[in-house]
Amino acid sequence: MKIVTASLGEKYTTEIHMEEHDLTADEPEEAGGDNIGPNPYDLLLASLAACTAMAIRWYAERKKLYLTACEVTLSYIRIHIKDCKACEEGDPRSHIEHIKWEVEISGKFSDEGRRKLLSIPGKCPVSKTLKTGVVIEDEVSYV
């Protein structure tokens, strides 16, 4: 089980503690923060980008492919349903969250190796979690 603890500091500054690592999250100044760390959406995209790059490395090593570089770029946008060309008619949501992936890989591989590597992004564990949905259990206590 993974456990992450977030403790709110001044304004929106939040100290995040996980196993052996710590980091600071914040909101940009225009959103009322001090901009001293990534915001929650930056962290979400960072998690997905890191997982993607690591999955590509893992696959390349497993298949003995000569991977010299991998760069993953993600962009996020919230699209209102009325503006969504890919949304189904009658979708009850007011908007959808859209993440676009751009993956660049370098190395020496066959066409088959390249094709396999480029199929990996949608298979990383974080991607699978986001695509299949998550059960989030809320428990709030007052101290």
Q: CATH number, domain at 100?
A: 3.30.300.20
Q: How confident is the model at residue 53 (pLDDT cuts 50, 70, 90)?
A: very high
CA pseudo-torsion sign 54, 56, 59, 64 = negative
Same domain, 126 and 76: yes
Q: What is the pLDDT of residues 123-141, one digit of tens each?
A: 999 999 999 988 888 899 9
Residue 49 CA to residue 118 CA, distance in Å, equals 14
How far is Cα 111 from Cα 6, in angstroms, rounded to an integer? 45
* One-letter amino acid for residue 58 of the chain: W
What are the phi and psi torsion angles at 85 (to 5°)?
Answer: -75, -25
Same domain, 73 and 121: yes
Give Cβ neighbours of residue 136 (< 8 Å, ≥ 6 apart). Answer: none
By residue range, what is the domain housing residue 113?
A: 39-143
